[in-house]
Structures are given as structure tokens and as C-alpha cells.
Amino acid sequence: MIMKLYVYVLEGKDWAVEESYVKLKVGKFKSRTRVLKNTRNPVWNEEFVFRVDCLDDDELVVSVYDGDGDDESSGLFKVNSCRSLVGRVRIPLWSVAAEEDHHLQPTWFSVQSDESNESIEKACGKILLALSLHGKNQDISNGNQFLQPSMISDQYSDIKQSPSHDSNTSKSPRKMIKSITRRFEKLFHKHNDSSGVDDSSDLPTTSSDNGESTEELPLITTFEDSMETMESLADQKEMPENLQGGVLLDETYVVPPKDLNHFLFAPDSQFMKELAAIQSTTDVHESPWTWESGQTSSLTRTVTYTKGATKLVKASKVTEDQTYIKANGKDFAVFIRVDTPDVPYGSTFQVKLLYKIMHGPEIGGDETSRILVSWGIDFHQSTMMKSMIEHGAKQGLKESFEQFSELLGQTFKPVNQLATLDKSQTLATLQNEHESDWDLAVGYFCNFTVVSTVLMVLYAFVHVLLCGPNQIQGLEFNGLELPDSFGEFVTCGIILFNLQHVYIMASHFVQARLRRGNDHGVKAQGEGWVLTVAIIEGTNLAPLDSSGFSDPYVVLTCNGKTRTSSVKLQTLDPQWNEVLEFDAAEEPPSLLDVEVFDFDGPFGQAASLGHAEIRFLRHTTEELADMWVPLEGRLAKSLQSKLHLRIFLDNNNGVETIKEYMTKVEKEAGKKINVRSPHRNSTFQKLFSLPPEEFLVSDFSCSLKRKLPLQGRLYVSSRIVGFYANLFGHKTKFSFLWEDVEDIHSLPPTLASVGSPILVMVLLKGRGVDARHGAKSQDEKGRLCFYFHSFVSFSSARRTIMALWRTRSSSPDPKTDVFEDTTVTSQDHQHQEKDEKCLCEDVTSHLVVGDAKMTKIYSEELPISLESIMEIFKGGDLEHKVMGKLWCLNYNTTPWEPVTGHSDMLERRLCWKFNRRVSSFGGDVTCTQQKLPIVDGKGWTITEAMALHDVPFGDHFYVQVKYEMVDRKPGWCACDVFIGVVWLKSCKFEQRITRNVVVKFGDRVRELFELVEREVLLAVDGRS
């Protein structure tokens, strides 16, 4: 009777070698385990099955080999590889048959060395084996001891814990044994129920290198059992990285990962059959999933099919070798090698695919799965057609996986991650992350220093209450108590030191709670596209201070408007958790500039810690909702600095916003523009991988002029210009932003343009790199130039394109200055005057606070008269001209007016905005000046109180400046200028900001009087 022997190689211990593998032989059939390295206690947990022809004569020979130098890639039984026999175990099969139910429980066998080889020691260690004999007509009952997982696990555990069988292996195969015994039971029952055909045909044989008949032993089980075994494998790999070709599919579906894996890769998958029908694939043949023994065991199978013919390629035979790299129940990775020998140059390359199925976030209690498919290509030999092959393979794969995604979405609901990352919920969660002051104080002050200081102070206080008055001795006198010993002196010093430390901590805590971002929490105004950015945190920022830390803050710029975060003190990993909103715009923004600076005073030259540019069209809504932005810059790149942002773009006015935008474009173009149909708009979004909010304005049939003209279609939307052409299957596609366009002009018709005018688009230097392949040329400034011609109606296309460009590139309206002379309604004028009055009252009140600690920053005698120097305080042309050269924007003044109660004192108010060359924050300045003549009437004293707005800590201080101008001699005057910083609130930056203000204003005053002197002397020379 033909029987089958099931051998389970569990582990070895006390090996004489550190790199080994095991060969098993029954009669003429052989197999082997994988090679394990760097261990003398190897754990294999591998199973084998052999056919037994003669139970009385056959024996199981287990041979242990030294695996050092063995080349597994040369074949399974390469006899010429460099290896040496360590020892053998011989087990007669009749001894297994003599066991109860023909099953030998896990047993340790001593490995006997080959006596003919004197170089090998006798003691070669032990090996743990489990054996089972199974006949074709044998009845395996449920009471079989070997098949009961609990019993085999208990016996294996007893063997491991027995003093005589102590093992030093690193991991127990208990879980593996349970899984394998369950599979044995299913397998045995399966064979009991099979037909009476001789099952020897299930065990194909092959010829080994030495002429012996050897046997490949694939373990044929169900797909579910194979997955269970993969889960229980101890040598699970990490999830592999994406292949170098890029990502073809990245979607999330409401389905558990295990179910999605079974749905896609189980034998006879209905999904794959439906996909084959859609893609015109025929003659599909799938081999069963089988175990492949090697360095690590894995599931493999081969799938062959005939790919349907296309316009350029005939029907071709395709072979896929599929291998499971990882399968742990939650994450799965399948690596596929695709061979297409029948396609042109098919023998020169091989396409690789990597399917990754990963566990996603739960939504409403339902499990989700993220499937990510990447691709790559390997060339076996060089070919001049390499780029064309890569391009063709990429296009074909993209089209194929678009159909794959669409079909999969019909079965499982795709996850709209925008719903899971809803703006209101996300921002509400962000706000909840802010702890209360009490919680922060408890966490901050609950440390050894504070607690020990409090206890010492209390102890000393109680001691003082219990002690009586001391006698005056030494250098003491009434009112002065000194320590009477060195111990008391040291104790007092420790208490004072701790008290100072606690005071610094308390001060720092109060300052931290007072810090707020200038734009944090400021709500957006208007209706249209509202951009909301949540700044979460930063990591690995560059240290610029001498302390080894920085004081970072973030500046966001979009559509010419900026938003600034708060300053975080002394940290390289700041936590902001701040929400910044930009006012509504008529069209959706395209770019967001992000830059991180180190704070060094309001007028300091802020050092950049890194910058980044976020192009909204390159990211999905889900990616924008939670993204880590790597910062550019020398320091940022070296330290791998990153910024964590959450970006939301909403249209709070719905369709009306689009209508208003189209009305604006039509007015600019001077003609009616018909909005494209939803179907064409959807096709446009899919073609250029655009988000749902992007809408097509118009499209034109035209030719792209390069070395050879290419007929295609030009698409224009609110944010991009795109071109697409498909010439006999060779597709050309590129796009760039309107913000990238520096100039658009027309050229007259030429012979090359077939008598049609040419529309030329010139991009800014360094922009449109992704569209370089569509450019006609690059000018001497390094700008890309795109040439389009052969429009159906050149005039209509040009007007529409120019209107969109002008609308997009127009600068935002500047803020209305409070001093600007404009026509407003009486109600607005009253509100404006009210705001000005409140603001000016606040600044004027600073003038009566008293002189700050003034520092003289300028003292010179100038060769101009006192009357000429006072011209810069009269609000005339000279003052505006000089202040304009000092980078004061929107400079405005009011006339001098008498001050109530001071008949000889005059007062006026000023307002301007700093250019970013002066202050990186920009910032508005409101100022009040008071003018008072000197007693003898030969000079003036002008006192100025200046408030700085929209700069960090601007509400903590104001700047006080005093000018003293005295007439010395005819045509000469002496000028002295003093400055001081008055602090309204305490701040850790007081010294730094004061020093920064004094230095910068000193340079500014010096430049002011130099300009005045130059202008006055030039005017005098002009009159003469």
C-alpha cells in the first residue's frame, strides 16, 4: 500500500556550525530546508511530504549540512556547491508505523557525525522532528492525538521545559504547530474524500544534478490555509518601499484588508475575470498558489493570459510570476514580474508591479483598506528605444489601473477621506488640544526643584517661628541678621538659588501664556474661496542661537497676502497648533509659500530656517488635509527639517463664486464665454489629475510648435494651462500654472505655422520644469517658451487666454489707508474717524507716561539752516520724498494742531507701513508727534511716540523718540536724537528687542538726516 510520510522539521540546538540547512531523503525522493545563518540553535518550522513505496525497507535520512558558502541561487540540489556534512539522523519508517495511529510526536534526535570525516566532531547537536504516516484508505479520526493542537503543543512545551531537553532557541513554534496541525487535518480529510486514483501522480519527480530522481514538493492547500500559515511565519518582512517607476493606484476602500486580499488574489477571482473581460484579455490560466522553499518560504503562482490587441501592438502572450512578500492578516504585499516576449523589444525588459494592501483608519466602526500599486521596469540589455518603452509601459499601465480602480469601486465603496478629515472636526480637535492654564501649570511646576524649594521655605519659616530672638554678635547690628556659621551660610545660599530658579520658571510660564500669534484665530472676510491653514508643529529645525536653539515663527504667503504665526521660544521642535485663514478670493489659489524664520527683534534681519512651496494642484484634498512639508534650504535640507500642516480650501459661496469669476473674465475678454458641460469638465479633471474644485473655462484645437508641429488641444481653467495630444497612441501632456506665465504675446504668421498667427507663452525663470518637453525653446534668460498656432479662431482664443492671465496675475487690492482721501459713505467715515480717534488716543497717552531711559543715537552739526531741517516735520514734498526713500509705504500725515492746555505745543499724527526690506514682518506704524519750541526760541524739541502693529510682541512695547534741533550759527544747526523703548508688558525678549530697536533706529535716523542734507543742498544748488 502506497503511503505518505509527513515530516515537520521544527528546530535544532547545540549545532557545531552557525550556518546550516537540512536535507531529507526517503527512498529516491529528496527535499531540503532553507539556510539559516548566525545561529547554533536554528528554528525552521518547515513541513515536507514524501511518498513511501515500501514501509519495511525505506527510512528517513535527515542530513545536516554546513551552509557556509552555499549558493542557493544555483538550484535546489546543486551538489558542487561549497558545503560539508555535519551529521545524519536515520529513522526507519517501520518505527513510525509502530507508533500509536502512526504518528510520532515532536521528538529530539541526536545528530550523529560522519565517522569517515575526521574533521567533524562527534557531538553535533540535536534536531526536533515530528512524523506522521498516512495511507490512502486510512481513516483519520478526530481523536487522533497528533492532530489535536493542544496535545502536540503541550508535549512540545514539555520537551522544551524538560531539564534533559533544554533548548536555547529564541522563539517557540507553538503557534506554528497549531496552524500546521489544523492544516494537516484538513489535508488528510481532503485526501480521504478523494477518488481512488493512485495519488502518486500528485508528486511529480525531476532529475537532480547527480542523476538521482528528486521530487519538488509543493504543499497544495486552500488559499485561506496558506494565508494563515503566512501570518504565523516568524520571519515576516517589513512592508517594502514603492517601486521606482511611481504609483499607479492609491485608493482607500471600506473593506477589511484580509477580505480585499482574498477578493483580488484568491484562485478563480471573480473580480479578475470581470477585469479581463473589460480589458479584452483572453486565455487566462492560473496555477495554484504553492510554497516555494528558499531563504524564506513564500507563496507563489504563475498567471498566463493573452493581452488584447491595441492600435500599435498586436495581441500578445503575457506571463505573471506572483509572489507574496508579506501577509500578516492586516498588511499584504504581492510582488509581480510581468514578461511580455511577444511585444516589440519584449525580450529586453521586464515590468515589475508591487501591490500593497494596508490597514486604513476605521470609519463609523467599519474597517478600511488602502491599496497602493507601484511599478518599475528592468532592462536586461541596453536599447535605443528605452525611453519610448518606459513611456509606453507607463501609459498602458495607467490606463489599465484606471479600469481596475473603476471596477473595484463598483464593489467596494471608496473612502472620501475629506469626510474623515472634515475641516470643522479637525480644527475643533486642534482647539481641544490646547490645555487649560491650570493643567499646564500643574504639569510645568510639578518637578523636584519646585517641590523641594517649597518644602525648604516652609521648613525655614516654621524654624523661624519656633526660634527666639538671637543675640547680636560679630558684625551684626539692629536690623541686620547674618548667618552665624558656615552651615547657615550654605543653607541660605541654596534656598536663594532655588527661589531664583523658581522665579525664572514662573516668569517664563507667564510669558508663554501671554504669547499669541498675530493672525491666529482671525476669521476670513468675504465670500468666495477661503484658504485655511492649521500649523501643527515643526521638527528638526536649525539651531541659530548661541544656546543651541531657535525662536521660530512661520510666515504664509498666498495671493500676495501674508499670515504670521506666533513665536515659539527656545525650541527646535515647536508646537504651534494655530489656525490661520486668508480672506476669500474670487478664484481658488494655486500656490502657498511657507517660510520659517528665527525671531531676532521686529527690525532684525530674520534668518530663514527653511522654506517650501505648496502647489495645490499637485496634491489631493486628502493629502492637503494632513501633510508633512519638507523644508528647502541649506540648513533645512541637512537637518531634514519638516513642517506639519493641515490645509483646507473651501468655497463658501457655491456656484455664485464661479459665476462672479466668469463674469469678471468675460468683462476682461470682451465676449461671452460658455461654461463647459459637466462631462467635459470631468474629463478635463481626470486627464490632468485635478481636484474637483478645478473647472474648465474653455478649450481650443491647436498645434504645438516644436521641431515638428503636434496637433492637439489646449485647455484653460481658472488655475492652469494644459495641452494634450494623442498621435497614434503616443500621448503628449503637460500643464503649468497661470502664475508661472511671465508674458504672453503674438507673432505674425509664418510658413512654418501654415499661415497662422502664433501665440507665445513665456514662463518665469525656473518655472514649468515639468512641462519642459513641450517648450519650443529656452531664451537667453533661461525662460521656457511655448508656441501655439493653427487655432480655429485665433482672435477668440487669444482674447480668452489673455483675459484669464490678466485676471489671475493681477495683484490684490492694497489695504485702504486710514488717512487716504477717498469717497466713503458718511457711516463708514464715522466709523473710520472713531477708529482713528481711539488709536491716536492710545498712542498720545504714551507721551505723558514720562521719558523712558533714553539713549542718544545721533549727534551732529549739519551745514543747513534750522528752518531747512524743520521741513521734514511739515508734511510737505521734502518729508514725503525722504520717507519714501526710507522705505516707508503709504506715508500719510495730519496738519499740526494746538494741544489743549498748552498754547505753545503743537501735535500731529502720522501713519505708514514698513517695507519688508526694513522689517521682514512688514507691519503698520501709527505715530504721534508733539512739537515744542526751546525756551530761548533758537530751536525745537519734537517728541514722538510710535506704536508698531503686526509685528511679534508689538503690543508689549512702544518706541519713544526725541529730536532736539538747535540753531548754532548762520546756516548751521545741531541735531541730537534720543530713543527709548517703553515696555507695557514683561517679555523674555526685552533686552534683545530693545537692542534691535536702538541699533536699527540709529541707522535709520542717520540715513534720514543724510538724505535731508543732500536734498536741501541740491535744492540750493539748483536755485543758484
b/e sequence 101-125, b meaning 16+ C-beta within 10 Å: bbbbbbbbeebebeeeeeebeeebb
Largest CA distance in the chain: 134
What's the angle, vertex CA 771, arms to CA 770 and CA 774, rounded to 5?
A: 150
- Residue 219: pLDDT band by 50, 70, 90 thresholds? very low
770: its cell numbers: 515639468
The CATH T-level fold of domain 246-415 is Alpha-D-Glucose-1,6-Bisphosphate; Chain A, domain 4 (3.30.530)
pLDDT 10s digits, 655-708: 777 888 888 888 888 888 887 787 788 889 888 988 877 889 999 999 999 888
558/565 Cα distance (integer angstroms): 14
Number of helices (H), then strands (E), belonging to the chain: the values are 21, 42
Place of cell 529528496: 30
Output the 3-class SS for 722-737: EEEEEECCEEEEEEEE
Element (H, E) at 149: helix 149-161
- Residue 884: pLDDT band by 50, 70, 90 thresholds? confident
Rg over CA atoms, the chain: 41
153/175 Cα distance (integer angstroms): 8
**What's the pLDDT score for residue 426?**
62
Q: Kindly tell me if the per-residue pLDDT of 74 is higher than 70.
A: no
If we measure between CA atoms, which residue out of 68, 61, 60 comes closest to residue 21? 68
**What's the pLDDT score for residue 825?**
38
Q: Per CATH, the architecture of 3-217 is what?
A: Sandwich (2.60)
pLDDT 10s digits, 241-288: 889 888 898 888 889 999 999 999 998 889 999 999 888 899 999 988
879/927 Cα distance (integer angstroms): 15
Q: Does CATH place domain 656-809 in 2.30.29.30?
A: yes
Q: Kindly tell me if the per-residue pLDDT of 56 is higher than 50.
A: yes
Expressed in angstroms, the distance from the first to the final Cα of the chain is 131
432-436, 438-442, 475-479, 861-865 — most confident range: 861-865
777: its cell numbers: 525653446
pLDDT 10s digits, 787-813: 999 999 999 999 999 988 888 765 443
**What's the pLDDT score for residue 604?**
62
717: its cell numbers: 481653467
Instruction: Say whether 529-653 and 246-415 share the same fold.
Output: no
59/713 Cα distance (integer angstroms): 76
Q: Kindly tell me if the per-residue pLDDT of 605 is higher than 50.
A: yes
425-429, 615-619, 815-819 — most confident range: 615-619
Distance set, CA 61 to CA 26, 27, 56, 68, 344 (Å): 7, 9, 15, 21, 51
pLDDT 10s digits, 941-962: 999 988 888 777 777 888 899 9
Domain ranges of the chain: 3-217, 246-415, 447-514, 529-653, 656-809, 826-1023
The residue-averaged pLDDT of 374-387 equals 86
Q: Kindly tell me if the per-residue pLDDT of 335 is higher than 90.
A: yes
If we measure between CA atoms, which residue out of 66, 11, 47 comes closest to residue 182? 47
The residue-averaged pLDDT of 507-514 equals 56
Identify the residue with better confidence: 321 or 4.
321
Element (H, E) at 401: helix 386-411
The residue-averaged pLDDT of 306-329 equals 85
Q: Do 230 and 327 contact (CB within 8 A), yes or no? A: yes
Average pLDDT, the chain: 77
Distance set, CA 176 to CA 8, 327, 644, 720 (Å): 11, 15, 42, 57
Pairing of strands 529-539, 575-585: antiparallel
CATH code of the domain made up of 826-1023: 3.30.530.20
If we measure between CA atoms, which residue out of 51, 1, 38, 428 comes closest to residue 204? 51
Q: Kindly tell me if the per-residue pLDDT of 496 is higher than 60.
A: yes
The residue-averaged pLDDT of 72-97 equals 65
- Residue 447: pLDDT band by 50, 70, 90 thresholds? confident
Pairing of strands 552-558, 561-564: antiparallel
**What's the pLDDT score for residue 120?**
42
Q: Kindly tell me if the per-residue pLDDT of 128 is higher than 80.
A: yes
9/108 Cα distance (integer angstroms): 11
If we measure between CA atoms, which residue out of 158, 151, 148 comes closest to residue 128? 158
Q: Do 136 and 3 contact (CB within 8 A), yes or no? A: yes
Lowest mean pLDDT among 655-659, 742-746, 773-777, 919-923: 919-923
- Residue 880: pLDDT band by 50, 70, 90 thresholds? confident
If we measure between CA atoms, which residue out of 1006, 1023, 975 comes closest to residue 882? 1006
Q: Do 736 and 721 contact (CB within 8 A), yes or no? A: yes
The CATH T-level fold of domain 529-653 is Immunoglobulin-like (2.60.40)
Element (H, E) at 251: strand 246-253
pTM for the whole structure: 0.45
**What's the pLDDT score for residue 863?**
87
